[in-house]
Structure 1
Amino acid sequence: MSLEEPLKLVSQLFEEHLKSDTNATPETFDPSSSFLDILETRRDQIISFNDAHAQQIPKNTLVRFRCMIQDTGLGQEMLVSAYETRNEDGTTKLCCYRYTDDPIELHEHRVPEDYLLERTLVYCVSPPGENQWTKEAYDVYNGSLEDQLNYLSIEDDKNPNIAKKYPLPGKKHTSAIVKFYNGMDESIRVGQLVEVIGIRGQDLQQEEEANNEYELESPLHSFSNTPVLHAIAFKNLNHSTPLKAYEAASNYSVEQLRYDLVEYIASVLGGDKLAAEFVLLQLLSRVTTKINGLKIGHLTINLNGFPFYKSTKENESVLFSSTNPVSQPLIDVLENLTVHSVNLPLTIQGLNQSKFTPKCVSESLEAGVLQLVDGTMLLVDETVLDEGQLQDAGVRNFQALQTLIQTQTLGYEFPYSQYDFDTDISVLSISSNKSILPNHCSVLLKPTNPLEDSKQDMLKLSKEQLEQFRRFIHTAKHASYDIPEQVSEYIQESFVNERKKATDTKSELPTQEELMLRMSLARLAAVSFGENTLSKERYDYVVELDNQRLFKQKKKLQDNTMVISWPFEAIHKTHIHLDINTGELSLTNGWESTRGESSNQQDILLSSFVKRIYAEFEMIPPPPPIPSQPSLLPLPQKAILHKYMTTIEASRALSKLCREEDPHQYYADMTKIGEGASGSVYKAYAIQKEHTVVAIKQIHLRRQSRKDLIVEEVRMGQEKPFHDNLVKHIESFLWKHDVWIVMEYMEGGSLTDVVIHNCMTEKEIAAICLELLKALDYLHSRGVIHRDIKSDNILIGPQGQIKLSDFGYCAQIDKIRSKRTTLAGTLCWMAPEIVQCKEYGPNVDIWSLGITAIEMVEGSPPHLENPQQAIQLLKTHHTPPSLKNPEQLSPYFRDFLSQCLQFNAEDRPTAHDLLQHPFLSDAAPLCSLLPLIENTKNQITMDDEFCL
């Protein structure tokens, strides 16, 4: 099978496809599996975009491109995927017209609908931070020497639009517009690392010269000279390595390899093996579990004790160029051991003049410094932090870095909203004193050799030795892990005994956070020794490791009791002045002379600023067993296509449910009364029905990742029978890619506002619970689970009516499918069986009702400020949430809550049974809620006036 003419190969596969099945059509043709086989078995015969100058690669050449998905918002193109040719004998032949930009002449004016397809345009860039050894391992092309010389990159593109779309300013890179076919775009996301195999297309400049009689707007207009690649197939490379998994040789044990690796890291840390141990554990950490935005498994470490480096005009800090010679050897080691790594010198200039988060400008997503591929090692160097004024952009960048460390999410700025995307970036910070960034644990560096000699002390290793280290790190990072029951009990007993001992000796008690940290370190230490099961001995090893770390820190504090080198322990309010409006930092006159003599001046200058924006970071407990090394191949195509709806699929489904007209023709005086991530809510008047007030929810369909939920909400709104306790759905519109859902207007607002601004009596709470149970009894009797009961979704009418709204998460059950397993709902209200990913039924709504009742008592649901604690309690302790002052409630109310919050779903009563509970028999009339509504409106008005 020749690779020199890939279009002929595509045509051959197309003909075989049509012959294979009488029902085969051009639309069902998918050659991706054949080309993935080529990529696996003959990759050395395929030219790579990564090491060749794309402009010198001929059109219609088979190429591969290892890249990061930078921007998925360039739009779609319609294309004719096949056409008929007429032979001399009068017969016709169907030909494939995919993966090319060559012009053709169509003899038929009318093209059959199933010949028309849609392809998605995506902007891709070479992986930011990809280390040199990774490039060499991936890009092996066995073409002729003449070919390799011809394909060398000889110049960089000066297009400013292209420069703005690469995360690392000033770094050389390759970019391309990749055109995805067959719905492949549904399985990619921004920030994802993929390898694409496809055919080199015709770049924009050539297209305009060849087709200048057409004046069609194209999203490529801003990217002249950017190469085009028609993607035939791709594979996911997230958390992958170009090397094979590590297999220990009989004469080279895991313990010996680990020992040598620690020695190698310690050689650039002044011989400090304890600090090297923690760096190794950092290298093995990753996000292993994601639950409703909560990330578990990653570890962020700070190494402090590096010398401060004062920048001068001659060596002024440039972003991503290390200016501290002492930190360079550590950077070199990380580059030698990791697939992707980025050095981020944290300077005032860098914070003020760069952009850390991606931002959409003129329909193009400009990259941010932190838009990196998963698994990247980010080294943040605080030793170069200098004096100066932190401007608004600098504060935003600092907060973005802080958020990334705390939640492993990165915000993407769009014109009307911001969306958070999941990341998995390993962050290691180095500083002179205590870090200004949050971290899981801080390690004080105690070198036995001068750090200034680290470059000379760095061990010189062979290529084979380094490859052993890389294989070992990757294999251990993705190894499975388990904690036996007896070891779990041993850990609990050890912690209790440690606290008892501390009480007897009147020393500081070990905290829950320290236990959680040790549990995470234990997982990483176990896999670093090649163990998939935690043992008592390995846990004791970690405890000793952590005790040594704490001992060094305490000793440093004792040695510095008479100096001001730890401003984080006490805020020197008389020493520092901060202008809140300008961000200007300065010292008082009395301390101006001391500033020049202090070796810790950067800590003094920034301590007040840090106190203002620093957020305490809580350590997350270790995750459950994680899967082994992930597959590099994507899911089967059929599974991918229907995982989430595309905009086109959603529009087709909604067109059958909605009126495709402008809602402004039927509703006037639209006034915005609310706004969220999905869109806006308006109050309006029906034109044809005078004085009829409605609420209209506008949803931007293109911006929704789960378009299926929008379709489900519209469908449920139309199909659900009318009930007094359900918000009435009037009609829906689909207009200009926006969905407009028209509902009855509930003048009293949401229950959330009432809860926030009022103290409610038991009778008022009982009245609301009674109405909600009527709604749930009605839904459950018809096989509908709401799955998102909370105060936000409970609306109040002008006469105190209580109605349930928001049916996007609803699920239908029947005799065939009586249970559900999908993770859905809002975290703090979520039933334990959903959190534990078990099968569940309608009684999950009963649990959420109990949480809502607690919300009405205490003003907020349990664990609202710390949702991960709610998850841990439900997953590990099997403990339902408790009231702060249960003795203040009546026995009937306590029993009602107890029944709603039974941990075992089978023990919870149905909505129908709960309607008979004695707590509800004393419910207040709905009109008694009117004073609460009035007070809420007054309070909101006063708050608005105060803000103005």
Structure 2
Amino acid sequence: MPSTNDWINNPLGVVEEMFGASQNSSDSGWEAKVTEFFRQRLMEKDAHTWVPSLNDVPLHYLKPNSLVKFRCLIQDMFDPEFYMGAYETVDPSTKAKVLRCGKYKDVTECGVDLDSANMVTSERQTFYCVPIPGESPWVKEISSCVVDCFYAGACQARVVPSTSYVPSRQKRSYEDDDDEDDMDTQPQAQGHAHNGTPAAGESQGNGDSKRQETEAPSGQKASSPPLDLNFPLPGEQGPACLVKVYADWDGFKLNDTLEVYGILSVSPALSALSDQTDTSSSLILDPAECMETAEELRVHSPPASLVPRLHLIHTQRLTHNNPLLPPAALEDSAASLAATLGEMASVRAELLAYFTQLLLGDVLAAEYLLLHLISNVYARRDVIPLGKFTLNLSGCPAAPAGPAYTEQLYRALQQLVPSAYRLSMTLHNMNQLRLVPRKDYVANRLLSGALQLAANTSLYLDETQLEQGQLDPAGVRNITALGNVVAWQKVDYDFNYHQMEFPSNINVLIASEGRSLLPSDCHVHLQPQVTPPNMEAYLGSALTAQSSSQLNKFRLYLTMARALDYSISEEVTKAVEDDFVDMRKDDPQSISADDLHSLLVVARLSCLSLGQSALSTDAWSRAKHIETLRKSRSEPEGRLNGNEP
């Protein structure tokens, strides 16, 4: 049985051993045995910490062809490609033939017999994956700390440098590495599925962004701009990766968040192939032999030193990316879960006090901010997303305190949630930013936009930055896209010929002076109880007053509360219905079906915030009380700080 060093440092050795055994015994199920072998190894205690992460370890420190992991979002899905699953090589001196396995590889050994009857052509899918957009610094720090702690005690697939220097990820370290494979290896014979044929696993509306038409719109001209890593958010850093999937790719969707375990491929032969696609290269692609344009080849086959390949062996979907709470934590024993839930009420009180300080002493606004942060789209009824709770916090301090206040408030929230993005709604940003992803038919890829976010990302819209001026057509489209996220939790991706709707699950918080120009599920006008002379210093002291252990408690609490199950018994349902009828009798004009829905959402979130998984009559009464207080607050006249765009 392979040792730990073998299956992490040399996973291809495990694969080839099982492949060879299958040829001797005519075992057709060897591929399933490979995936089961690695799955069982990764289930061992702390085994996942033994595998180095592309998120935390610079690429040039990782051993080629070793097992690595990558926490990522599926940003795009390319067409399926064909590869040599099995092939024969011929020794030029002895003429001896050897059957070899081509799975989990990008390059083959030299001397391939292309006329061999034993050659097997197989198919695999390629996903373009990027780090989870907007991942908070504390998530990366904790994940990196786990890696550092492990490597301090054991040496696995990486050499720790003697300095703190972090080289650029564009450094092509392994192309000149003496330990790298010889340059006589060659890329596997690959080809993408024919453009006129639907790709494997492709269906309308399943989250697939593959080619929707066979020709590019006439307005798009072929060009070769510098290759970018296509991150959804501006200023993002980190590795992008081409993940090769060998089975069950129909089960993956665009924007899924995954932790991928696979075999790292950074062969210099791949970079040579990428260089050949440059228009200045002496290699001229024959249109009769290649259905792809030079631009498409350049984008789909970037240098491996810049965009490594990862051949997937095992993966798990991430319901969250909080490193303090393993994905299986909610499936632990009932006793362990009960102990955790028992502390939620006390942590809630501490977090509420912290939010009250951040919101200048406004306890009611702090209550609604807490409910907002644990909201989650848990189901959809036709086109209606259930569980969303967009919060418009108006009355935020105006300039000169305004920008400092909204920025510091975002910093405080970013310290608590795993993923967040602050969109400053200046006129320039609204008119210039690409919020909605768009299909580039020339390069056959999806150009990302700022609304291509992972589920449960906190989107902080700073409307206090929007000044008087004119929105151009792009700005109007961006405002419409934000409104669709708020109202319907969807983003309509632009495919030029048509739009394709993609569901989202984004927690939207709108900070504004007057009531927002965007719709919201809940509007709370801030009523400060304190007026600090120096707003930035006041909020800065509130941030630094929280210890790491206290912040970790808050982070765990928010993730746990969002993930809890929830139900309403028949008895409580009947009591709520009777109460609603009584409220309608007292004042039919003051309460509607929408008000009932809002009350049920607030009651649900109030229960979850206390660690309760079922609605009680007390929670219902509490929801009615705070909703009455919220509606009783006077709202300032005007919108958008008194100015219309």
**TM (normalized to structure 2)?**
0.77
Quick check: 2:360–2:531 contact (8 Å CA) kept in 1? yes
Distance 1:57 1:37 in 2: 23
Residue 14 of structure 1, aligned match among 3, 19, 26: 19
Give the SS at the match of 2:55: helix
Of 26, 35, 41, 1:32 maps to 35
Find the counterpart in structure 2 of residue 567 from structure 1.
Answer: 638
Q: Are residue 494 (structure 1) and residue 579 (structure 2) matched?
A: yes
Corresponding residue for residue 271 of structure 2: 205
Matching of residue 440 in structure 1 with residue 521 in structure 2: yes
Alignment correspondent of 1:357: 436
The one-letter code of the counterpart of 1:197 is: Y
- Aligned CA distance change for structure 1 residues 536 and 63 (closer, same or farther; 3 Å): same
1:465 equivalenced with 2:550 (yes/no)? yes
2:562 matches 1:477: yes
The two structures, once aligned, show a CA RMSD in angstroms of: 3.2
Deviations 1:123-164 (A, max 9, x none): 111111111222233343233698243897423659965546
Structure 2: 5+ residue stretches without partners: 172-223, 331-336
* Aligned residue among 237, 244, 248 for 1:179: 244
- Residues 209 and 399 (structure 1), Cα distance of their counterparts in 2 relative to 1, 3 Å cut: closer
Equivalent position of 2:206 in the other structure? none
| Distance in 2 of aligned mates of 1:537 and 1:461 | 32
Inter-CA distance 148–78: structure 2 relative to 1 (3 Å threshold): same
**Structure-2 residue corresponding to 1:669:** none
Among candidates 343, 355, 360, match of residue 265 of structure 1? 355
1:154 aligns to 2:167 (yes or no) = yes
Distance 1:294 1:551, change over 3 A: closer
Q: Following the alignment from structure 2 to structure 1, what is the Cα–Cα distance between the partners of residues 607 and 637?
A: 34
CA distance in structure 2 between the aligned counterparts of 1:257 and 1:342, rounded to whole angstroms: 25
Equivalent-residue separation in structure 2 for 1:492 and 1:40 (angstroms)? 47
Residue correspondence of structure 1 range 767-778 to structure 2 within 5 A: none
Question: 1:417-451: CA deviations, max 9, x gaps?
Answer: 21111111111111111111111110111122236
What amino acid sits opposite 1:352 in the alignment? N
| Letter in structure 2 aligned against 1:116 | T
2-structure distance, mates of 1:18, 1:265: 64
1:29 positional shift: 4.9
Map of 1:343 onto structure 2: 422
1:191 matched to which residue of 2?
255
Deviates more, 1:207-216 or 1:387-396: 207-216
What does residue 47 of structure 1 align with?
52
Which residues of 2 match residues 445-594 of structure 1 at below 5 A?
A: 445-450=526-531, 452=535, 453-458=538-543, 460-502=545-587, 509-552=590-633, 556-557=634-635, 565-567=636-638
Whole-Å Cα distance in 2 between the matches of residues 113 and 524 of structure 1? Answer: 61
Distance 1:527 1:347 in 2: 36
Q: In structure 2, what residue type is equivalent to 1:205?
A: S
Q: Is the 8 A contact 1:82 1:94 kept in 2?
A: yes
User: In the TM superposition, what whole-angstrom CA distance separates every residue of 1:147-190 from its partner, at most 9, and x where no partner exists?
Assistant: 243897423659965546111112223212222222x4322222
Distance 1:71 1:270 in 2: 43
Equivalent residues of 2:66, 2:264 under 8 A apart: yes
Q: 1:175 to 1:551 in 2, by over 3 A?
A: same
1:52–1:153 Cα contact (<8 Å) kept: no
Q: Secondary structure at the match of 1:51?
A: coil
How far off is 1:60 after superposition? Answer: 1.8
Q: 2:373 aligns with which of 258, 279, 283?
A: 283
SS at 1:67's partner residue? strand
Q: Distance in 1 between matches of 2:403 and 2:161?
A: 37
Find the aligned partners of 2:313 and 2:519 in 1 and give their Cα distance.
Answer: 43
Deviation at 1:335, TM superposition (A): 1.6
Higher gyration radius (CA): 1
Are the structure 2 counterparts of residues 442 and 226 from structure 1 closer, same or farther at C-alpha, using a change threshold of 3 Å? same
Instruction: Evaluate the alpha carbon distance shift between residue 209 and residue 274 of structure 1 in structure 2; reply closer, same or farther with a 3 A threshold.
Output: closer
Structure 2 Cα separation of the partners of residues 390 and 463 of structure 1: 43
1:334 aligned residue:
413
1:78 is aligned to 2:82: yes
The answer to whether the 8 Å contact 1:134/1:339 transfers is yes
Indicate conservation of the 8 Å contact 2:244/2:309, yes or no. yes
The alpha-carbon deviation at position 256 of structure 1 amounts to 1.3
**Taking structure 1 as reference, are residues 263 and 339 closer, same or farther at Cα in structure 2, changes over 3 Å only?**
same
Contact 1:295 1:408 in 2 (8 A): yes
Deviations 1:460-518 (A, max 9, x none): 23322222222222222121212122222222222232233337xxxx62222111100
Determine the structure 1 residue equivalent to 2:345: 255
Cα deviations across residues 227-275 of structure 1 (Å, max 9, x unaligned)? 2222222211133532234856599733211101111222211121211
Letter in 2 for 1:135: K
Amino acid in structure 1 at the alignment position of 2:638 = P
Residue in 2 that maps onto 1:384: 465
Contact 1:83 1:106 in 2 (8 A): no
Percentage identity across aligned positions? 29
1:458–1:152 distance in 2 versus 1, CA, 3 Å? closer
Q: Identify the match of residue 99 of structure 1 among 94, 104, 112.
A: 104
Q: Please give the residue correspondences for 1:613-624 in structure 2 after superposition, counting only pairs within 5 Å.
A: none
CA drift at 1:369: 0.6
What does residue range 234-245 of structure 1 map to in structure 2 within 5 Å? 234-244=315-325, 245=329
Match of 1:230 in 2: 311
- Count of matched residue pairs: 545
1:671-682 alignment runs, 5 A limit? none
Q: Structure 1's 266 and 349: CA in aligned 2 closer, same or farther, altered over 3 A? A: same
Matched residue, 2:233: 168
Q: Residues 411 and 387 (structure 1 numbering): CA distance in 2 closer, same or farther, change over 3 Å?
A: same
What is the letter of the counterpart of residue 149 of structure 1?
Answer: P
CA contact 1:525–1:538 (8 Å) conserved in 2: yes
Q: For residues 135 and 551 of structure 1, what CA distance do their matches in structure 2 show?
A: 42
Give SS of 1:470's match: helix
Q: Are residues 294 and 516 of structure 1, via their aligned partners in 2, closer, same or farther at CA, if it must alter by over 3 Å?
A: closer
CA change 1:409–1:119 in 2 (3 A) is: same
Report the Cα offset of residue 55 of structure 1.
Answer: 4.7
Q: Could you tell me how far apart the structure 1 residues matched to 2:530 and 2:341 are?
A: 32
Letter in 1 for 2:460: L
Q: 1:674-715 CA distances to partner (integer Å, 9 max, x unpaired)? A: xxxxxxxxxxxxxxxxxxxxxxxxxxxxxxxxxxxxxxxxxx
Q: Deviations over 1:20-39 (max 9, x none)?
A: x745167x556333333444
Return 249-258 or 445-454, whichever deviates more.
249-258
Question: Per-residue CA shift, 1:309-353, capped at 9, x if unaligned?
Answer: 379xxxxxxxxxxx8110233212222221111111111111111
- What's 1:368 paired with? 449
- Unaligned segments of structure 1, at least 5 residues: 312-322, 558-564, 569-601, 610-948
User: Given residue 54 of structure 2, which amino acid in structure 1 is its aligned partner?
Assistant: F
* 1:837-893, Cα deviation, whole Å (9 max, x unpaired): xxxxxxxxxxxxxxxxxxxxxxxxxxxxxxxxxxxxxxxxxxxxxxxxxxxxxxxxx
Q: Is the 8 A contact 2:9 2:65 kept in 1?
A: no
CA contact (8 A) 2:102 2:108 kept: no
Question: CA distance change for structure 1 residues 113 and 346 in 2, over 3 Å: closer, same or farther?
Answer: farther
Match of 2:151 among 131, 138, 143: 143
2:474 aligns to what SS in structure 1? helix
Amino acid at match of 1:253: E
Q: In 2 relative to 1, CA 264–34 (structure 1 residues): closer, same or farther, beyond 3 Å?
A: farther
SS at match of 1:474: helix
SS of the residue corresponding to residue 107 of structure 2 reads: coil
Secondary structure, counterpart of 1:401 in structure 2: helix
1:277-312 per-position Cα deviation (integer Å, ceiling 9, x unaligned): 11111111111112444321111111111023379x
Q: Secondary structure of the residue that 1:351 maps to in structure 2?
A: helix
Per the alignment, residue 490 of structure 2 pairs with: 409
- The Cα shift of 1:93 comes to 5.7
Highest relative contact order (Cα 8 Å, sep 6+), 1 or 2? 2
